[in-house]
Amino acid sequence: MTPADLRAWQAHMGYSYTTAAEALGIGRRTYAEWIAGDRAIDRRTALACAALAAGLDAWVVPRQGATS
């Protein structure tokens, strides 16, 4: 994921710097460093962006005996 990709994701989601950072569970400073290209954006972050864009939440272990 490039800084341009991250900016596009932020715009798509309608996030500000602060809400984007909060959604990813990171500090605003780290997010700003990613946007500026001063820090590499790791694969986990790219996957988290994709999951959030798809409307997914944190994964939880399904309960035993639960049906879909």
Q: CA-CA distance, 63 to 24, in Å (whole number)?
A: 26
Confidence check: pLDDT of 67 > 70? no
pLDDT (0 to 100) of residue 7: 97
At 61, is the pLDDT very low, low, confident or very high (cuts 50, 70, 90)? very high
More confident residue, 65 or 15: 15
Which token pair is 63? 């309960």
pTM for the whole thing? Answer: 0.84
Which token pair is 48? 């988290």
**Tens-digit pLDDT profile for residues 43-59:** 999 999 999 999 998 88
Which residue type, as a one-letter code, is found at position 8?
A: A
Nearest to 41 by CA among 59, 24, 57: 24
Confidence check: pLDDT of 64 > 90? no
Nearest to 50 by CA among 18, 14, 19, 6: 6
